[in-house]
């Protein structure tokens, strides 16, 4: 069974979905560590409730990104982490972490990349009056939401769509899709997905 670390900065609803699927036996993985860059974030409470070890840090306490990523790498090595799963980690991964885990870092993003990368993808899609948005799961490289795409699932944006309704639809997909894809990737090393709703 693969050892994974979840990286999160805020609420951690995707983290919770992963915890729940692991507990239910649908996702074969061991969550060895939560890495959180915001002390006080709700994801930390979720980790505590689930008995998952936590490394929480404040980037401001370190002279540079290389320094806090070095510390993260030490924590990951100590915990025996093999895969890094970003789930609402609001920070670009730098060269220090990327070098250690290249090809073994995943991210989930609330749009059909390459459309609407970066912050507030839901707001960006609404502002652009897009007809479709969705969810992308991809490998992480040194760009902003630019790495190779593993799977995408689309959601239609209705004429009366609000930020809340679109957010709810997107998160509903995320909570199902991320654990499902993680299970395939971590247990079989490949991903098969319904082509009707997905683009590779
Ligand atoms: C998710 O929408 C994810 O796609 C994006 O950040 C959000 C995190 O939400 N990267 P949560 O903290 O998992 O609730």
Catalytic annotation, pick one of 109, 175, 183, 193: 109
List, for residues 17-56, the tens digit of each pLDDT value.
999 999 999 999 999 999 999 999 999 999 999 999 999 9
Our mutation pick for probing the ligand 1 site, out of 9, 13, 137, 169, counting the most ligand atoms within 8 A of Cβ, is 13
> Does residue 194 surpass a pLDDT of 80?
no
Q: How confident is the model at residue 188 (pLDDT cuts 50, 70, 90)?
A: confident
Q: Could you report how far apart the first and last alpha carbons of the chain are, in Å? A: 26
Say yes or no: CB of residue 175 within 6 Å of ligand 1: no
Q: What mean pLDDT, rounded, does the chain reach?
A: 95
Band (199; pLDDT cuts 50, 70, 90): very low
Burial of 32 (0-12, 13-18, 19+ CB in 10 A): buried
Residue 105's domain is classified under what CATH number? 3.40.50.170
Q: In this prediction, what percent of the chain has a pLDDT beyond 70?
A: 96
Ligand 1 neighbourhood includes 8 CB (under 6 angstroms): yes
In tens, the pLDDT along 160-186 reads 999 999 999 999 999 999 999 999 999
Task: Read off the pLDDT of residues 122-159 as tens digits, 9 standing for 90 and up.
Answer: 999 999 999 999 999 999 999 999 999 999 999 999 99
pTM over 0.75: yes
pLDDT on residue 200:
32
Number of domains observed in the structure of the chain: 1
**Which pLDDT does position 97 carry in this prediction?**
98
Q: Does the CB atom of residue 110 touch ligand 1 within 6 A?
A: yes
Query: Would you call 109 a catalytic residue per the annotation?
Result: yes
User: Which domain range does residue 16 map to?
Assistant: 2-199
Judged against a pLDDT cut of 80, whether residue 193 lies above it is answered with no
DSSP states of 92-150: ---HHHHHHHTTSEEEEESS-TTSS-SS-HHHHHHHTT-SEEEEEEEE--SSSS-SPEE
The Å distance, Cα 72 to ligand 1 centre, comes to 21
* Main-chain dihedrals φ then ψ at residue 30, nearest 5 degrees: -115, 120
- Predicted local confidence at residue 197, as pLDDT: 41
């Amino acid at each position: 069974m693969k050892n994974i670390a979840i990286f999160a900065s805020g609420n951690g609803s995707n983290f919770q979905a992963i915890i729940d699927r692991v507990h239910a036996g649908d996702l074969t993985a061991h969550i060895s560590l939560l890495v959180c860059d915001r002390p006080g974030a709700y994801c930390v409470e979720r980790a505590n409730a689930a008995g998952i070890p936590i490394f929480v840090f404040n980037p401001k306490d370190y002279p540079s990104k290389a320094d806090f990523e070095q510390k993260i790498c030490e924590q990951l090595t100590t915990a025996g982490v093999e895969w890094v799963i970003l789930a609402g980690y609001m920070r670009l991964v730098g060269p220090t972490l990327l070098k250690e885990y290249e090809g073994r870092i995943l991210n989930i993003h609330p749009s059909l990349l390459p459309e609407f990368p970066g912050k507030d993808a839901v707001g960006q899609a609404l502002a652009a009056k897009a007809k479709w948005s969705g969810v992308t799961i991809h490998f992480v490289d040194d760009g902003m939401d630019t790495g190779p795409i593993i799977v995408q699932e689309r959601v239609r944006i209705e004429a009366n769509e609000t930020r809340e309704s679109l957010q709810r639809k997107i998160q509903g997909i995320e909570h199902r899709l991320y654990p499902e894809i993680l299970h395939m990737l971590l247990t079989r090393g490949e991903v098969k997905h319904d082509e009707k709703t997905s683009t590779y």
